[in-house]
Amino acid sequence: MGKEKLIRFGVSLPEDLLTRFDALIESESYPNRSEAIRDLMRESLIKREWQAKSQDVAGAITLVYDHHQRELVKRLTDLQHDFHSLIISSQHIHLDHDNCLEVIVVKGTTKEVLNLSRVLRATKGVKFGELTMASTGRRLK
């Protein structure tokens, strides 16, 4: 990433809101207000990007499920083959004796990725499922 031109601008806001915001950024260990505000702006832009259903997006679907449910393991693998065009890679970690953690990196339109995430998370026996929305940051630097 090249060096970008930084712009300064003034913001007016209620004192109480700023006090609460400062407490939040301190608890999240931000070095300064600027960095925290930049992150918030990027986050809301990514959310908006994800709302445009035909937009190309990338993300990661994290699943935790019971290793002993043989049918479930097969079902999740079958589903991933059905949606292979959206899946860039997946990583399987044997968390402990009973549980598997799978991280599936996906890329496609918002609609496709949200659908795949829903299908996987809704599979019976999946204990945890979450979609992390990412962006190429092309316009979000």
Beta strands per DSSP E along 8-125: 56-66, 87-94, 99-109
Using rule CB under 5 A, residue 76 touches Ni ion: no
Q: Does 63 bind Ni ion (CB under 5 A)?
A: no
For residue 104, the cross-strand partners are 61, 90
In the complex, minimum distance from the CB of residue 75 to Ni ion, in angstroms, rounded to a whole number:
15
Asked if 100 is part of the footprint of Ni ion (rule: CB under 5 A), the reply reads yes
DSSP annotation of 122 reads T
Regarding 94 and contact with Ni ion (CB under 5 A), the answer is yes
Instruction: For the CB of residue 100, give the shortest distance to Ni ion in the complex, in Å.
Output: 3
Q: Which is nearer to Ni ion, 67 or 107 (CB)?
A: 67
- 61 residue type, one letter: I
CB nearer Ni ion, residue 47 or residue 68:
68
Determine which helix (DSSP H) or strand (DSSP E) holds 129, and give its type and residue range.
strand 126-134
Residues that bind Ni ion (CB under 5 A): 67, 94, 100
